[in-house]
Structure formats: C-alpha cells, structure tokens
Structure 1
C-alpha cells in the first residue's frame, strides 16, 4: 500500500501542468532529445486510484500539424515500451547486451515519430509502470474493463493536451493481443462520439499487426487450427507428418480425438524449439525465471506449451535500463519500492472475456480506414488466420493479392477491398513484431497508410 504522502504527491503531479511531465534529459542520451517528449500518469477511474503510464513523443516533422497515433503492445500484460525501444520508437539501445550497466541510446532512423506524434501507452493497469494505489489486489481486469480504461485515458489525455485534440487526425495502432484491445477501443470511441459530441475524438483509422481476433476464434482460441498448416507451408513439418495429421484430425486440423492430439504433439515436437515470433530467427531470451512468461494466448494449448514453439523475447537491456532509478526519475515514475520492478511482461489476473472481435469489424471498417497487417514468418499469429478472416467478411475485392514494393523490391503482399480502403497486407520476412524485424518496410507501410496512399 502506498503511503499517504506519496498519494498526495502523485495527485499533485496528475493535476499539474503538462510541463511537469516533460522529459528534460534521459540517461544514456547526450544532448537535446530528437523532439519534445513527455512521460507521466493519467487516472482512468473515477476515484483516481488506477493510473496508466504514457510516454508521449512529439513528431520530429511538424508536431503542430502531424497526426497523433496511439501505440499498444499486447500480451495481455506486455509493455508498449517494447514498441518504443525495440520497434518504431525514436530511441533504441546501442547494444543488446544486458550485462552493460548503463545502456546507451541511439537514434532509430525508421521511427514513426518522423511523421507522427506518438503515444506509447502501458495498458492495462499493472503493466510496466502503470499501477493502482490499492496495490496488486486491484490489478485484476479483463477485455471490457481495459477498453473502458483506455478510453478514459484518451479523454484525460486530450483534456491535458487539448492542442492534440479537436480536428487533428488521430489513429490507433498496435500488435498481437492489441488485436483485441484496438477494435474494442475503436468501437468505444465510435459510441462516445455518437452520444457525446462535445467529447468527440477525431479518429480517422486504425492498424493492427499480427493481431488476435478473440478467445473462441482464430489463433488466440483454444486448439486453434492455423499453426499446423503454417508450419507445413514453411517446411517445419514433413509431407508424411501432414498426411497423418489430416487423417487423424480432419481437414481443419482441429479434431478432439486422442489420436489427433497425439499426432499434433508429435508434429510440433518434430519442429523443435523454434522461435514462435520468427521461425527463422535465433531464440534469445534475456529473462530470469521471475520475468520469463508464456504469452497468455498460449495458456490453454497444452501441446504448444509442452514442446516446441518457444516464446523468445529479448528484453534484457530494457529491463536493466527501465529499472535504473535515474531513469525512473527522468520519466517521473513512481519508485520501485512502491509499485515494483518494471517488467516487459507481467502475469496478473487478466480474464479474457471476448469470444470474438470479428463482430465489431463490419461497422468499424465502414466508419474508419482499416489496415490489418502480418509478418509472414510469425508462428504466434500466422498470417493465414488474418488472411482468412479478412476475406470472410464478404467485402468485394478491389484489387486481389499482389506484391507491394519498397525500394523497387517486393516488401510483401496486399489485398484491398472496395469498402472504405479496407486492406490486408503481409510483410515478407517479418516476424510477430513487424517494425522490429523489418523497420524500413514497416515505416513505408505506416507512411502510406497515414497519408492514404496506395500500397
């Protein structure tokens, strides 16, 4: 439980001018930051006991006119500072060696902050530096509450930074389990805009990378049918093994018979302990036993948890850096003694309550520009899943599957639909975290979407 003095201090910080949250310097970085940056807390419940940490980066281009973009990582339980330090944020680590005590920061030449003002939000409460004044007993949450509190955060953010509201274009982006967070938040914004015009958020569109679609459908569901054909198509299991699977499990690889489960276990075991987030990348895990977690989306899949398909998250340097007390002070964060260590992913009481977000999509696609994208070597959320559901919505195809180019080279493949520019896109050679694995292609993808250009 936090002391009364700390609660009063925190309340003052929340109500202070936004200048109080400006980052004036960062350990590991010399000189002025590439653009103005802010880090702080905003309350997301009425009694102001639950706080989300945000890191806001002004655009390096034209901050007064460039769009505002919210970024959400997934898990559930993983920090969006993964996006900041390893994906499309303005600063990355010079070295990935976690034994270095004072990590140095370098510019990311492919940061999305070149053309957009970016908010990296640590959501839900309990993730990263986000916290509750009531302690760990108040961290239990679910899909619905997360959407509600993310909307509360946005309302609080626009109240604190009114110059970023109004008619400025706003977009929401993210990946993995944010495939649940994002459409639920987008729909909450849509409803609020209809009911409360005075609180209107000028949302123009959203983009979801390697996203889950629900807890009863797609790869986030129990016993999903998508990984096996993906593995077969990428040469991780043989023709002989695939034939046995089809015989035991049926054409959708989702049989419940004991022989089917046996063959599934055998198939995944034969594939070996590959990196589930990028089947062609080495597995690097800079986690100690306390921090190392399986993604929640795998928790009910006994076959995948026991053998093969290893969760490989290289977060060692971020863990060292973000638990440095000087860094916490520079970011205006609560002390470790009060809210605990920063971790890339935390296990807490999260209940997955949404069977499927696919029911949201027809309305959202007609209302907002929508991009669904996938790295094509991700076995965690294979592109085959998102390709199937995007085509299953029944929208007429404007342009069928074709290559899209970056620097006159094939960057992946894209399908566009006639409905409001709805697009499904793959990024060749990219794993689960597309901006991390293919930063140049991810930047080009983001730029074309934000500028409403053809892929």
Structure 2
C-alpha cells in the first residue's frame, strides 16, 4: 500500500523547496551573462541581440535579479538605454517583454499542452526599434529572480528600489560600452510607482560623484500608480463619464462620500452607494472597459497544487497550470506564457540556474512578503522634474484600473506652468491621443483606445509616442 504524506508535511516541503533556496546547491555569484541567439517557439535566429543574466543585489541573503537585455535595432552604441519595470504584484517582466513593449509576442492559437512550447512571432511595434531595453525581474522573487536565504524575499518599495540601484551600478560596471548612452528609467502600473523614486536615487549618486557615472536623462511612466488615493478614487468620475454608473449614483456618491474618501466610506449612505458602484464596476473589464471581461490568469499555490508540485517530478511539466481563458480574451497570451517559461528547453536557453525556481509564475499575488512603504510617489516626480530631468507620463484612456483622470489630476497638482497647451497628437493623419507639456520637461499624454497598460492595446500608437519623446521631439 502506498504511503500517504500528510497535507501539513506537504506544505512544509513546499515552503522549504520554494521559499528556502538556501537549501539548494551553491551557485557562483555574478556568473557570465548568456547570449541568446534562438528561443523555443520562434522560427529561426532572433533578429535582435538578446543577453540574459543575473546580478546579485543582496550579498547577505544571496538575492539575485534576473534580466533580459535587448539591444536597439538602430545604433546600440548611441541609442538610449531604458531600464523597464513591469507592474502587478511581483509580476515577471516577461509581461512587459511579450505583451507590451518587447520585440516578441505569442501567436494566439489553440494550445494542447502536449509538451511543445507556444509559438512566438516578431512584434513590429517594439520599443527596441529605437532604444535598448533592460527588462528586470524585480523585486526579488518575481519571474526568475531568487534568493538563497528566505529573508531575501522580504522587501518593499524602498528596499527593492535600492536593490535596483545596485543592479544598475553593477550592470553598467560590467557593460561600460553603454555608459555614454542616454539612460532612462521606465515602468508601468505598480512599477511606475517606483520609477521616480529610483530615478531620484540614481541622480543623487550622480551628484555625489559615485562611479560609474550614469548618463541619466529622465524617466517615463505608463498608467502609473502613485500610492495616493487618487489612483482608485478617480474611478468614480471615470465610470460616470463612460456611462457605466448613472447620474443619480454619481450624485449620491458626491453628496454622501467625503471627496477623496470614496474607497473608505465614513457613513452608511456612502457605504451603500459604493456597494452599488462596486457591483457596476465588476460588470466591466477593468484593464479596458470596451473589452470582454475575463478572469485573471495567475493562479495562487494551494493545497491541491502543492501536492502536485512535490510529487510530480517530470522536468519541464507545468505543475500548477493556470485556468484557460477563452481565446478571444486579451489575456490568453498570459496563459501561454506559463507553458513557455516553464519548459526545460526555454530555461536552458535563457540560462536559468537549475534549482532556483521550482516553477515560474507570471505574478505572485501576495504569497511573498512585501511592504508598500512609498506612500506617495508624487513628490519624487516633482523632485526629478525640478532637477531638470525629462519626464513622460502617459495613460491609456480606456483604463479603469488607474484612470487617466486621476493621473491627469496629480500631474496638474504639481502646478507647473504650461508651455504647450492641451492638443491632439497624431499618427497617420489621425488623432492618436491628447497631450500637454509643462515647464521642467514634463509631458502628459493619453493614448486613444489604450487600456491598462496602453502598449498592450495600442502598440503602434505607443511606439510612435515613445520614439518621438525619447529623441526629444514633440508628440
């Protein structure tokens, strides 16, 4: 009779294997990066230069961040270099690479989980057309980043940003050929909350004369979180303007809820109104109000999948597959990413160290410790722009997660004089969005038809916006 393993024991083994990589074999620090010329699922050689590798950012705990560096299609020795941080709850930066601004994307087609990898195709609207991009799995625990000691996973906004500063310092030290290139920090959604803080810390090192001297020129954030209540509060006027909540409900909320306190009702009438609001809000696709509402493709480990993780040893087999969304869902590619990133050939090709990650997940959804200790990033936007650094803040105008109304509001609250009045910006003779430019080189722009995040829904418009801005031209 087969011995039964108690559930509590299984959970303990899972914790030891997944969260305590100190128990796995020792890995040499700062190993040489991997030059990747082909990728599983892509037909032929890659039409761009891809380097992957690890950088140690916490010596005490052995925490290492994994990165993908893709050179510009133009002139890599002169074109800007952009550090890119993706959003979500400890989400892998592969989301940014495959679904937003990178040169590859999944072919959306039926997938039968037969051991093959989902197919990839070239993305013609990649931002690597005009810049080299350093995609980083951050914070520790995201994507293929890992820590040997479990204490290394206990980070937050501030500590993970400082680790990224360490990452940048070490990466440029090992890649001095790029030091003269204009450098920008970029990110979207929750990643956008960290960008101005990180940029400020890099600028402080520059002012202190730290080596290497990085050629920081500015930063950009898309559909960015700030940590302020305005991120969520702006959903109320946004949904009213989009015809999702009624005039009557909008008026009731404004009458009985304290301005700026919609999400934390202080009285019964406000609470009842917000309950009605939440019901209506749940009827739509939050990332893009015009798209089909689909479930979130990022499963949490649970007792059922834990048992499969421990007992199923076939290398390269996905042990806790995410739920399969319909193919006409925008996030079907998210589903495919699990089968691609957990394939043994993929891991070997990317140079993933064996034993560092039992299973790649797109986002961790709160199963690792994290402190949201930057309560507001707005002051860092002010600090950076008043120091003379360039800034681009952009929003998809159909995003109901962090609506453009809230972003536009805090940008205005900086009280910078306007140098280029609100106007349309164009692509192929048609308006592609609207923009306003302030003193201190701060530009705010909307992307018509964009969602959360904008490049996923409007890649051509976003590439046009980015390429114009990164080279200092008007939108």
Given the two structures, how large is their TM-score scaled by the length of structure 1?
0.88
Listed one character per residue, the Cα deviations across residues 307-341 of structure 1 (whole Å, up to 9, x for unaligned) are xxxx9854101111001111011001123x44221
What pairs with 1:137-148 in structure 2 (closer than 5 Å)? 137-148=151-162
Listed one character per residue, the Cα deviations across residues 33-85 of structure 1 (whole Å, up to 9, x for unaligned) are 11111111110023370000000111122222211111111224112110111
Aligned-residue offset at 1:97: 4.1
Listed one character per residue, the Cα deviations across residues 172-213 of structure 1 (whole Å, up to 9, x for unaligned) are 111001122101110110111111343221111111001011
**Structure 1 residue aligned with 2:63:** 50
Is 1:273 matched with 2:283? yes
Listed one character per residue, the Cα deviations across residues 202-248 of structure 1 (whole Å, up to 9, x for unaligned) are 1111110010112x4422xxxx4211111001110111222222222
- The answer to whether the 8 Å contact 1:98/1:286 transfers is no
**Structure 1 residue aligned with 2:462:** 442
Match of 2:26, SS state, is helix
| Count of aligned pairs between the two proteins | 422
Is 1:287 matched with 2:297? yes
Match of 1:442, SS state, is helix
**Structure 2 residue aligned with 1:152:** 166
- The answer to whether the 8 Å contact 1:76/1:350 transfers is no
What pairs with 1:252-271 in structure 2 (closer than 5 Å)? 252=260, 254=262, 255-271=265-281
Match of 2:416, SS state, is coil
Listed one character per residue, the Cα deviations across residues 81-121 of structure 1 (whole Å, up to 9, x for unaligned) are 10111111111111254545421111000011111111111
**Structure 1 residue aligned with 2:255:** 247
Is 1:406 matched with 2:427? yes
Cα distance change, pair 172–98 in 1 and its aligned pair in 2 (3 A): farther
Aligned equivalent of 2:198, options 155, 177, 185: 185
Q: Give the Cα–Cα distance (whole angstroms) in 1 for the partners of residues 273 and 436 of structure 2.
A: 34
Q: Give the Cα–Cα distance (whole angstroms) in 1 for the partners of residues 280 and 46 of structure 2.
A: 49
Aligned-residue offset at 1:425: 0.6
Match of 1:65, SS state, is coil
Is 1:65 matched with 2:78? yes
Aligned equivalent of 1:395, options 403, 416, 426: 416
- The answer to whether the 8 Å contact 2:186/2:192 transfers is no
Q: Give the Cα–Cα distance (whole angstroms) in 2 for the partners of residues 5 and 258 of structure 1.
A: 54
Structure 1 unaligned spans of 5+ = 293-310
Is 1:164 matched with 2:178? yes
Structure 2 unaligned spans of 5+ = 1-19, 303-328
Cα distance change, pair 148–97 in 1 and its aligned pair in 2 (3 A): farther
Q: Give the Cα–Cα distance (whole angstroms) in 2 for the partners of residues 73 and 65 of structure 1.
A: 25
Match of 1:432, SS state, is coil
- The answer to whether the 8 Å contact 1:402/1:414 transfers is yes
- The answer to whether the 8 Å contact 1:217/1:356 transfers is no
**Structure 1 residue aligned with 2:146:** 131
Using the TM superposition, name which of 393-402 and 144-153 deviates more: 393-402
Aligned equivalent of 2:437, options 404, 412, 416: 416
Cα distance change, pair 73–364 in 1 and its aligned pair in 2 (3 A): same
Aligned equivalent of 1:22, options 9, 18, 35: 35
Runs of at least 4 residues of structure 1 off by over 3 A?
Answer: 1-6, 96-101, 250-253, 311-314
Match of 2:378, SS state, is coil
- The answer to whether the 8 Å contact 2:22/2:148 transfers is no
Query: Which of structures 1 and 2 has the bigger CA Rg?
Result: 2
Is 1:371 matched with 2:392? yes
Match of 1:152, SS state, is helix
Given the two structures, how large is their TM-score scaled by the length of structure 2?
0.84
